[in-house]
A and B are shown apart, each in its own frame.
Chain A
């Protein structure tokens, strides 16, 4: 090994970093025949000692408490004035978010506990009437679109989740299109309780979660499904009570 090669390794040698044993041996052997490189290594080791003393001294240094106080004030102002911003989640964490878990839970609940849900899989009004024949046809009314919390908003914080008025069952509502997308209107079914005998009007508040379920899941429990849309995901809104349990569901088209 020559001086140039030694220079490349001197920092690692001074810090006792892991080096190939043969390389380390060659480097140390070089210091025995080269006074200059041996002195350089000694200097680096001395410098490292000094740096460590500085690091130890710095370890006690922290920002004064007034910085934290000022930042907390700024944080409170920010919270009260600015709308929250969504932070992208790492890919791994994105795999099972809380709303997805709710979606799965809602799907299971639907299959197990919903005795009879009348669903309109087709866009045809006639098919709807046929499907609903024999039962009172729910009224389709127009009204302002109910603001729905997005999954990302739900992820933000449970405390900031939207509080909703208790759903009124047995009404079919056609949502008006949003101002930005006037061509798309949502048709929703009435809310169906997910617990037998539960009075949804007694539910004072809750959270509404938009989920997607496989259309085939409905057919498995004997609900009418249009064969053309059996593989199409079905949107649904699940009402979660304050205790986090799913209470009711409605389907969205």
Chain B
């Protein structure tokens, strides 16, 4: 028996433009999660992520002709739109964004806890790890946050991320390194991380 043919994004988009509602629904369900998760990771707000998702697909409905398949996959195009929307909304809501909580006594998370252990507190630890990483990511400057979200959370290749961010791949590499360094620093602060790396900061290895 022949396997069912899964229509490509391009085919669905062409049908959608012709007014085919099932094609639009299929396209939306295929990509909404990606867009929503990107916006959520960037903002930490489900409301904002919801708004971004809606705006992105509204733009697709109204201006589908602006998508050029030659420039990359539809997912990257949607993600680029989502990025613009997120940055716009974050700028709009900046005065109201709460400061990320500094680590308080009793809330500290050791970086070593990021490695989940198989014990009765595993779920608690895991949730705490997720909360800590998310907080640390949200505290990153946008420039580094977006590249970290794209490459680490959304698992795009560096080339795909470069397409979304409209910058060279080398820039993605360097920003990702910087983002990791800032994230680790943040997590150390949050968790009072007592690592050899911290202890030896400032030392130089000539090996």
Q: Does B58 contact A (CB under 8 A)?
A: yes
Chain A neighbourhood of B67, CB < 8 A: 87
- Do A90 and B114 have beta carbons less than 8 Å apart? no
Q: Mark B136-168, 1 if CB is under 8 A from A, else 0.
A: 010000000000000011010000000000000
Q: How far is the CA of A67 from the CA of B37 in the complex (A)?
A: 14
What 6 pairs across the A-B complex have the smallest Cβ distances? A157-B18, A39-B197, A39-B196, A156-B18, A50-B114, A36-B200
Most chain-B Cβ atoms within 10 A of its Cβ — which of A33, A63, A64, A67? A63
**How many B residues are at the interface, by size bracket?**
35 or more
Question: Chain A: interface secondary structure?
Answer: helix
- Do A43 and B61 have beta carbons less than 8 Å apart? no
- Do A74 and B36 have beta carbons less than 8 Å apart? no
Q: Which of A35, A49, A160 contacts B200 (CB 8 A)?
A: A35
For window 86-125 of chain A, which residues contact chain B by CB distance below 8 Å? 86-91, 93
Q: Mark B35-72, 1 if CB is under 8 A from A, else 0.
A: 11100110000000110011001100110110111100
Q: How far is the CA of A38 from the CA of B70 in the complex (A)?
A: 44
Q: Does B24 contact A (CB under 8 A)?
A: yes
Smallest CB separation, B147 vs chain A (Å): 12
Known pairs A44-B180, A61-B33; A34 contacts B205 (CB<8 A): yes
- Do B130 and A36 have beta carbons less than 8 Å apart? no
Chain A neighbourhood of B155, CB < 8 A: 55
Smallest CB separation, B97 vs chain A (Å): 20
For window 13-46 of chain B, which residues contact chain A by CB distance below 8 Å? 13-21, 24-25, 28-29, 32-33, 35-37, 40-41
Q: Does B204 contact A (CB under 8 A)?
A: yes
Spell out A's residues near B (CB within 8 Å). 1-3, 7, 11, 30, 33-40, 42-47, 49-51, 53-55, 57-59, 61-64, 67-68, 70-72, 74-76, 78-79, 82, 84-91, 93, 155-157, 159-160
Chain B neighbourhood of A53, CB < 8 A: 114, 116, 126, 129-130, 133
Smallest CB separation, B151 vs chain A (Å): 9
Q: How far is the CA of A124 from the CA of B20 in the complex (A)?
A: 47
Chain A neighbourhood of B129, CB < 8 A: 49-50, 53
Q: Which of B32, B40, B69, B114 contacts A68 (CB 8 A)?
A: B32
Q: How far is the CA of A55 from the CA of B156 in the complex (A)?
A: 12
- Do A156 and B17 have beta carbons less than 8 Å apart? yes
Chain A neighbourhood of B130, CB < 8 A: 50, 53-54, 57
- Do B58 and A71 have beta carbons less than 8 Å apart? yes
Q: Which of B36, B62, B207 contacts A2 (CB 8 A)?
A: B207
- Do B69 and A88 have beta carbons less than 8 Å apart? yes
Chain B neighbourhood of A84, CB < 8 A: 17-19
12 additional A-B residue pairs with CB within 8 Å, beyond A42-B195, A82-B62: A35-B196, A39-B195, A49-B116, A51-B133, A51-B153, A54-B41, A54-B134, A63-B53, A68-B28, A76-B21, A89-B69, A90-B10
Known pairs A74-B61, A89-B10, A89-B14; A3 contacts B204 (CB<8 A): yes
Q: Which residue of chain A has its CB nearest to the CB of B51?
A: A67
Q: How far is the CA of A136 from the CA of B123 in the complex (A)?
A: 91
Q: List 20 A-B contacts (CB under 8 A).
A: A36-B196, A36-B203, A40-B197, A50-B132, A57-B130, A61-B33, A61-B40, A63-B32, A63-B36, A63-B53, A63-B54, A71-B24, A71-B57, A84-B19, A87-B64, A88-B69, A88-B70, A156-B15, A157-B19, A159-B18
Q: How far is the CA of A197 from the CA of B200 in the complex (A)?
A: 94
Chain A neighbourhood of B37, CB < 8 A: 58-59, 61
- Do A85 and B65 have beta carbons less than 8 Å apart? yes
Smallest CB separation, A50 vs chain B (Å): 4
Known pairs A72-B25, A91-B70; A36 contacts B205 (CB<8 A): yes
